[in-house]
Chains A and B, each alone.
Chain A
Amino acid sequence: MTQSELMRIEADQICVDYNGTVALYDASLHLPSGCICGLVGMNGSGKSTLFKALTGFIRPSRGHIRINGCSVARAQRDQAVAYVPQSEGIDCDFPVSVWDVVMMGRYGSMNVLRIPRQSDRVAVRDALERVELLDLRDRPIAALSGGQRKRTFLARAIAQRASVLLLDEPFNGVDVRTEKLMAELFFQLRKEGRTILISTHDLSHVRDFCDLTVLINKTVLAYGETSKVFTPENLSLAFGGLPPDLLTGNSSSEDA
């Protein structure tokens, strides 16, 4: 894997709208390999829309996204992007074990029948070791704590060996141990040249370990080194400084 001067994520002026409601416009973002970046904004500011665009779940109506210099479809095939959902986004009673979930990270590299090979088992085992869940590998996810569940999904991303990790509110409702362990893992992953994009509205976490910060409110308001982006003006812009109707443009206010 070449790490020199490689841009992990390049998004140029992307616009996304859902049936006429603008979710994101003119958002541009360039992230190099080996960095931890905080994506900060209010609810409904377009954080999850940006994630969906990066994972290929929705296609921007305008603009380009390149991941590792390739199209999003190519990145999907290369298993380049891993998405770690927020706890609310998954059915916690689903009858699967920790091992099963982490193995799902390997599906993309398997054949059509998804029969795990030795290499897949090794990857899953390694990932579980890194998040300290190997002992609980046979436990159903319904019997995990919030923090353990979070680590399970992080392990899935690690097992996938993705170069871009998208984390949705990773620190919501986790215990101190998990938080520490995750921060440590993020530093390790950064060292391996992976790029981690963390969506959050908790500013203290961003200040603590994000190299870069992206402030978002329907568009990218500011982005760059965390210390430079975190100015009072920028933050007020991100958190409700502007009236929302100015941002939704020509959309009908009823749906916004």
Chain B
Amino acid sequence: MVKALLISATVGGVCGLLSCYMTLKGWALMGDAVSHSVLPGVILAYALGLPFSVGAFVFGVGSVATIGFVKQKSRIKEDTVIGLVFTGFFALGLVLVSKTRSNIDLTHILFGNVLGISIADIQQTVLISALVTAVLLLFRRDLLLFCFDPTHARSIGINTGFLHYLLLSVLSLAAVAGLQTVGIILVVAMLVTPGATAYLLTDRFDRMSWLAIGSSILSSLIGVYTSYWTDSSTAGCIVLVQTGLFVIAFLFAPKHGILRHRFASSMPISSLPNR
């Protein structure tokens, strides 16, 4: 139980930080795609006796590369390509599960199994979390500029292509870490919701990061704790708490909440662009 609390808080913190970039870049769908696409990688890695994260990472990055390639070489719009590619990968994973003779429990991959996490998985998850955090901290400003104004980034000689793939790689890694706690299906919530909640609460990126990390860790702790004592789905509990926090922010955020607009609609809303 303590192990589960610690590991889900770690993953929560990392995903929370990353979720800020996902929210601002508008990559929610990309997060969904990457997390689903890692399924065949996980299955193959188990079948071959490799660490599951290696397989997951290869397929996560592979899906992104496929999406980029198809989008560039055809006239199909990006969201269509994303939907097409990740379901294809996911379907491949499902077929592989039924065809490989192993003791993998599909539900553990799909919905997470943090209460029964093994030592080896903990080690991998901690390693991945450390790596993701290091990259995000090191390239914090560059990534922020890349999300905000890639044209400017490019014109001052910053390699935006590199940043693009860096962020996608980090996303794949975080999805791998996240699938340990909440599983493939719900990992996108870890990668989006905390950032969205924090975005409603502040107009400063630093504060947004801290709020996202904080709300994400808090959700993980409350979620695991509740699931342990009520014997309900851990992933479900964690994500429900996250969603609950989002709803609270959505209603009561001091500046961007809807209730504030209702009661203060006579006041000028400075965030509207005045033309």
Instruction: With a 10 A CB-CB cut-off, give which of A77, A107, A112 has the most chain B CB atoms.
Output: A107
The answer to whether A87 has its CB under 8 Å from any CB of chain B is: yes
The answer to whether A96 has its CB under 8 Å from any CB of chain B is: yes
B235-246 Cβ-contact flags toward A at 8 Å (1 or 0): 000000000000
Residues of A within 8 A of B158 (CB): 107-108
Q: With A95-B202, A95-B205, A114-B142 given, is the CB distance from A85 to B152 under 8 Å?
A: yes
Q: With A96-B144, A146-B273 given, is the CB distance from A90 to B203 under 8 Å?
A: no
Contact among A112, A113, A142 with B203 in the assembled complex (CB-CB below 8 Å)? A142
Residues of A within 8 A of B149 (CB): 85, 90, 104
Is the pair B152, A114 in contact by a Cβ cutoff of 8 Å? no
How far is the CB of A143 from the nearest CB of chain B, in Å? 5
The answer to whether A83 has its CB under 8 Å from any CB of chain B is: yes
B129-160 Cβ-contact flags toward A at 8 Å (1 or 0): 00000000010111011011101111111100
Is the pair B148, A76 in contact by a Cβ cutoff of 8 Å? no
Residues of A within 8 A of B207 (CB): 95
The answer to whether B224 has its CB under 8 Å from any CB of chain A is: no
Residues of A within 8 A of B152 (CB): 82-83, 85, 104-105, 156
- Name B140's closest neighbour in chain A (CB-CB): A114
Is the pair B273, A87 in contact by a Cβ cutoff of 8 Å? yes
How far is the CB of B72 from the nearest CB of chain A, in Å? 9
Q: With A85-B152, A107-B145, A140-B204 given, is the CB distance from A94 to B24 under 8 Å?
A: yes
Contact among B142, B148, B151, B153 with A96 in the assembled complex (CB-CB below 8 Å)? B148
Which A130-171 residues have a C-beta within 8 angstroms of B? 140, 142-143, 145-146, 156, 160
A56 to B157 Cα, complex, angstroms: 9
Is the pair A95, B156 in contact by a Cβ cutoff of 8 Å? no
B153-192 Cβ-contact flags toward A at 8 Å (1 or 0): 1111110000000000000000000000000000000000
Residues of A within 8 A of B155 (CB): 55-57, 76, 81-83
How far is the CB of A140 from the nearest CB of chain B, in Å? 3
Q: With A56-B155, A83-B155, A85-B152 given, is the CB distance from A95 to B199 under 8 Å?
A: yes
Is the pair B203, A143 in contact by a Cβ cutoff of 8 Å? yes
The answer to whether B275 has its CB under 8 Å from any CB of chain A is: yes
A93 to B200 Cα, complex, angstroms: 10
How far is the CB of B148 from the nearest CB of chain A, in Å? 5
**Majority-rule SS of B interface residues:** helix
A83 to B158 Cα, complex, angstroms: 14
The answer to whether A91 has its CB under 8 Å from any CB of chain B is: yes
A107 to B139 Cα, complex, angstroms: 12
Residues of A within 8 A of B213 (CB): none
How far is the CB of B197 from the nearest CB of chain A, in Å? 13
Is the pair A173, B275 in contact by a Cβ cutoff of 8 Å? yes
Residue count of chain B within 8 Å CB distance of chain A: 30
Contact among A89, A112, A173 with B151 in the assembled complex (CB-CB below 8 Å)? A89
The answer to whether A97 has its CB under 8 Å from any CB of chain B is: yes
- Name A73's closest neighbour in chain B (CB-CB): B157
A76 to B155 Cα, complex, angstroms: 6
Is the pair B138, A96 in contact by a Cβ cutoff of 8 Å? no
How far is the CB of B48 from the nearest CB of chain A, in Å? 37
A228-248 Cβ-contact flags toward B at 8 Å (1 or 0): 000000000000000000000
The answer to whether B98 has its CB under 8 Å from any CB of chain A is: no
Residues of A within 8 A of B151 (CB): 52, 55, 57, 83, 85, 89
Residues of B within 8 A of A56 (CB): 154-155, 157
Instruction: With a 10 A CB-CB cut-off, give which of B24, B141, B275 has the most chain A CB atoms.
Output: B141
Is the pair A160, B141 in contact by a Cβ cutoff of 8 Å? no
The answer to whether A195 has its CB under 8 Å from any CB of chain B is: no
Which A151-209 residues have a C-beta within 8 angstroms of B? 156, 160, 173
How far is the CB of A163 from the nearest CB of chain B, in Å? 13
B4-40 Cβ-contact flags toward A at 8 Å (1 or 0): 0000000000000000000010000000000000000
**10 tightest CB-CB pairs across the interface, nearest first?**
A140-B203, A108-B156, A76-B157, A55-B155, A114-B141, A83-B155, A95-B205, A143-B270, A142-B271, A77-B157
Which residues in B have some Cβ–Cβ distance to A below 8 Å?
A: 24, 138, 140-142, 144-145, 147-149, 151-158, 199, 202-205, 207-208, 270-271, 273-275
Interface pairs (16), CB distance under 8 Å: A76-B156, A79-B157, A87-B273, A95-B203, A96-B144, A96-B148, A96-B205, A101-B148, A105-B152, A107-B145, A107-B156, A107-B158, A108-B156, A142-B271, A146-B275, A173-B275
9 more contacts with CB within 8 A, not counting A79-B156, A96-B204, are A55-B151, A82-B155, A85-B151, A89-B151, A92-B273, A95-B204, A104-B149, A112-B138, A113-B138
Which residues in A have some Cβ–Cβ distance to B below 8 Å?
A: 52, 55-57, 73, 76-77, 79, 81-83, 85, 87, 89-97, 100-101, 104-105, 107-108, 112-114, 140, 142-143, 145-146, 156, 160, 173
